Amino acid sequence: MNERVVVVVVVGPTAAGKTRLACDLAERLGAEIVSADSQQCYRGLDAATAKPTLEERARAPHHLLDVAEPDEQLDAAAFVKLADAAIADIGKRGKRVIVAGGTGLWIRALLRGLLAAPGRSEEFRAELRRVQETIGLAGLHERLGHIDPQAAQAIRPTDRVRIERALEVHALTGRRLSELQQTHGFAEERYAPLFLHVAPPREILWDRIGKRTREMFQSGDLERETRRLLARIAEVPAAARVLKIIGYGEMASALRGTCSTQQAEERVAARTRRYAKRQGTWFRRDAGPPLAWPIDLPGLCDRASRWYEGRPG
């Protein structure tokens, strides 16, 4: 091992059991957990984001949960800055570090560095939204296809955030996002990671997603959080951006009467399954094949201990 800080990185699709495994490992290895989740960072959004419970947080210290308000924009660059600080603090106190989460882009940025790209331009974004009102998101994606075909092919036509970013980078730099990505290569080695890719068999994962969805609707937690969120949006319209998080937009539609609660629940389960598929594809590429199922916790503890001690294997 070189001087890079050694970290264990627990990744996988939603409902795979990342939080449980991270807590189990942290308890046994004297580690603290740095969350790498682009949804769990927001205060007041607990039910639909499967944020670690108070009981789970009591098992091991967690970092980067509840660090932003719903109307605040927390991107990969901001996450890396916060995560670097948290990891440094944990190390100073002689503790080990576990990074756990399902936001692949954030984890990649933390471990391999960020592109040398400009920051957000609110002026450009506002202009882009005005254009979108005329030609729609599909029109923006088509425009990206003319400017940067490689980026357009890699970005789903419904992924507004990434479409806007690719167009923004080109507008501000005159260079294609795909070109910058190829130049960067994501080859920087900022930490020394041991990936633990958690992914249950498909039938088990689908069952967990269904159960989690039913519980968030039946408990009333999702409805209560969505009502509070809608009240905040009335005062701070920028908070509406988090309605894209799976669960809140669907419940908002049910509360507004544009669909039934049952329809909202079915849509949440379906969207979550699609999201889990995309996460699985990402992590198989970035983190390698999933761990054998069921999880061998003693074996993983031994493997992680040796990694922390500089004895890979």
Say what the pLDDT of residue 2 is.
44
Say what the pLDDT of residue 185 is.
58
Range scoring the smallest mean pLDDT among 12-16, 51-55, 117-121, 286-290: 117-121
Contact between residue 189 and residue 160 where contact means Cβ atoms under 8 Å apart: no
Alpha carbon distance 209, 12 (integer Å): 13
Q: Which residue has the tokens 């984890």?
A: 107
Q: Predicted confidence band at 312 (pLDDT cuts at 50, 70, 90)?
A: low
> Is pLDDT of 71 > 80?
yes
Residue 116 CB contacts under 8 Å (≥ 6 apart), including other chains: 180, 184
pLDDT in tens, 196-213: 999 999 999 999 999 999
79 vs 180, residue with greater confidence: 79
Q: What is the mean pLDDT of residues 118-141?
A: 91
Alpha carbon distance 17, 198 (integer Å): 7
Other C-beta atoms closer than 10 Å to the C-beta of 285 total 10
Question: CATH 3.90.1330.10: does it fit domain 5-113+186-308?
Answer: no
- What percentage of residues in the chain have a pLDDT greater than 70? 97
What is the domain partition of the chain in residue ranges? 5-113+186-308, 122-184
Say what the pLDDT of residue 186 is.
63
pLDDT in tens, 150-159: 999 999 998 8
Say what the pLDDT of residue 265 is.
98
Domains 5-113+186-308 and 122-184 share a fold: no
pLDDT in tens, 166-190: 999 999 999 999 998 887 656 678 9
CATH topology of domain 122-184: Histone, subunit A (1.10.20)
Say what the pLDDT of residue 1 is.
38
pLDDT in tens, 254-308: 999 999 999 999 999 999 999 999 999 999 999 999 999 999 999 999 999 999 9
